[in-house]
């Protein structure tokens, strides 16, 4: 079993045809078939079943896939570590972030990191927090910055950086803004504009409503924070959003922010990385940079 065979194996597992895998890897199609056959012979299992003109991974292939990803990742990491040493700091850093930190928190920090390490190539993937953590485990990214509640993630180190509590948001003309303090009873007939199911904000909003004795009545589920904010400005309902996502709108008077009654914050923007002894120099430098800029200053 060699790295080239694993590269071929991973490309075909991703759904590519033999011809597409060959094109992606710069090989000829017979070479792709040869590598797959040799890998199956060496392991003594069937990795793919042919259906029509496509190859479908077997159960053995699906079991092998995370190992292949890790082996290829470690080989690439070793190569890059030596390249960094040889080329005086050149390298690549693959980051993942959930929507709130990616949009409202990270940009100035990434700019500052680039100023310190201009020869490091940064790649940022933006997805829901659960997807970012899954990508960390499968070695698709190196570090994550995600919004999370209190949770333990096996195989990962999760370090809270800053609080980002949920707040109640309303249009300035909404009748509830006339109240000095909004209680749960005041909201039972309201339409709630909420983030999509599966996001950290939605999960914690659901937990808050349950603990406060509030049953969602009318709900409009929206997939993006910016969409929720624009709908709130049109007074289409009341919303629950992370505080850091609405700073500009509050300062401009476009929205009104109030505390959620009976809410105890468990939401933080967190640093996430694999719990491993061997981390590449750039991963280590980014982790230390993030710890310094967030924790030492205690703010954005």
Let me know whether 174 and 107 are in one domain.
no
| Structure confidence by residue, pLDDT tens digits, 24-75 | 889 999 999 999 999 999 999 999 988 777 788 999 999 999 999 989 888 8
Identify the pLDDT of residue 233: 96
pLDDT of residue 297: 54
**Claim to verify: residue 290 and residue 156 sit in the same structural domain:** yes
**What's the mean pLDDT when you consider all of the chain?**
89
The DSSP bridge pattern shows strands 191-195 and 238-242 to be: parallel
Model confidence at 199, pLDDT cuts 50, 70, 90, reads confident
Identify the weakest region by mean pLDDT among 15-19, 52-56, 290-294: 52-56
What was the pLDDT predicted at 54? 77
CA distance 224 to 245: 11
* Average confidence (pLDDT) over 287-294: 90
**HSE of 3 in the Cβ direction (CA atoms, 13 Å)?**
9
> What is the model's pLDDT at position 282?
83
**Sequence-ordered strand ranges (E) for the chain:** 48-51, 54-57, 91-97, 120-126, 143-148, 156-163, 166-170, 191-195, 218-222, 238-242, 256-258, 268-274
What is the C-alpha separation between 73 and 67, in angstroms, rounded?
10
Q: Are residues 146 and 273 in the same domain?
A: yes
Domain membership flag for residue 245: yes
pLDDT of the residue at 85: 59
Measure Cα distances from 276 to 93, 142, 157, 270, 283 in Å.
Answer: 17, 11, 9, 18, 12
How do residues 61-119 score in pLDDT, each as one tens digit? 999 999 999 898 888 877 776 766 555 456 789 999 999 999 999 999 999 999 988 88
Neighbours of 120 (CB within 10 A): 18
Assess whether 208 and 146 both reside in one domain.
Answer: no
How many separate domains does the chain show? 3
Mark whether 158 and 275 lie in a shared domain: yes
Which pLDDT value is given to residue 299? 47
Other residues' Cβ atoms within 10 Å of the Cβ of residue 74? 14
Among candidate residues 82, 102, 124, the one where a domain is terminated: 82
Residues spanned by the domain of 139:
90-163+268-296
Q: How many CA atoms lie within 13 A of 185 on its CB side?
A: 2
Same domain, 240 and 273: no
For residue 300, the model assigns a pLDDT of 42
Report how far Cα 138 is from the mean position of its chain's Cα atoms.
13
Residue 140 counted as domain residue: yes
Q: What is the pLDDT of residue 135?
A: 94
What is the pLDDT at residue 268?
93
Q: Longest Cα pair distance anywhere in the chain, in angstroms?
A: 74
Residue 107 lies in a domain: yes
pLDDT score recorded for residue 88: 44
The stretch 177-191 carries a mean pLDDT of 93
- Same domain? 156 vs 277: yes
Instruction: State which of 65, 82, 99 marks the end of a domain.
Output: 82
pLDDT tens digits along 124-144: 999 999 999 999 999 999 999
Say if residue 238 is in the same domain as residue 275: no
The pLDDT tens digits for 161-181 are: 999 899 999 999 999 999 989
Domain co-membership, 7 together with 45: yes
In a domain, 263, yes or no: no
Show the tokens assigned to 62. Answer: 């699906």
The closest of 155, 136, 163, 133 to 146, measured between CA atoms, is 133
CB 237 within 8 A of CB 191: yes
| Confidence band, pLDDT 50/70/90 cuts, at residue 261 | very high
Residues 129 and 243 grouped into a single domain: no
pLDDT of 188 > 60? The answer is yes
Last residue within a domain, chosen from 13, 48, 82? 82
Find out whether 162 and 269 touch, Cβ atoms under 8 Å.
yes
Residue 67 in domain: yes
Residues 67, 10: one domain? yes
- CATH at 227: 3.40.190.10
Split at pLDDT 50, 70, 90, the class of 16 is confident
60 and 97 part of one domain: no
């Amino acid at each position: 079993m060699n790295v080239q065979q694993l590269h071929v194996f991973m490309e075909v597992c991703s759904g590519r045809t033999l011809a597409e895998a060959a094109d992606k890897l710069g090989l000829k199609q017979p070479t792709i078939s040869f590598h797959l056959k040799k890998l199956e012979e060496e392991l003594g299992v069937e990795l793919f079943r042919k259906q029509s003109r496509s190859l479908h991974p077997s159960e053995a292939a699906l079991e092998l896939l995370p190992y292949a990803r890790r082996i290829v990742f470690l080989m690439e990491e070793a190569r890059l570590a030596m390249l960094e040493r040889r080329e005086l700091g050149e390298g690549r850093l693959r980051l993942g972030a959930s929507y709130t930190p990616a949009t409202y928190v990270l940009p100035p920090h990434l700019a500052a990191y680039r100023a310190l390490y201009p020869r490091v190539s940064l790649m940022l993937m933006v997805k829901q927090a659960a997807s970012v953590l899954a990508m960390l485990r499968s070695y698709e990214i190196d570090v994550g910055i995600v919004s999370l509640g209190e949770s333990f993630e096996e195989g990962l180190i999760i370090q809270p950086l800053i609080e980002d509590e949920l707040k109640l948001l309303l249009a300035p003309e909404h009748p509830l803004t006339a109240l000095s303090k909004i209680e749960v009873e005041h909201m039972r007939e309201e339409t709630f504009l909420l983030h999509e199911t599966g996001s950290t904000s939605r999960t914690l909003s659901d937990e808050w409503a349950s603990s406060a004795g509030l049953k969602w009545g009318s709900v409009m589920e929206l997939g993006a924070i910016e969409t929720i904010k624009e709908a709130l400005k049109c007074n289409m309902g009341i919303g629950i959003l992370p505080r850091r996502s609405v700073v500009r709108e509050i300062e401009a008077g476009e929205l009104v922010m109030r505390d959620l009654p009976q809410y105890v914050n468990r939401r933080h923007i967190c640093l996430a990385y694999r719990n491993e002894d061997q981390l590449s120099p750039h991963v280590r430098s980014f982790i230390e940079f993030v710890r310094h800029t967030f924790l030492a200053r205690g703010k954005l």
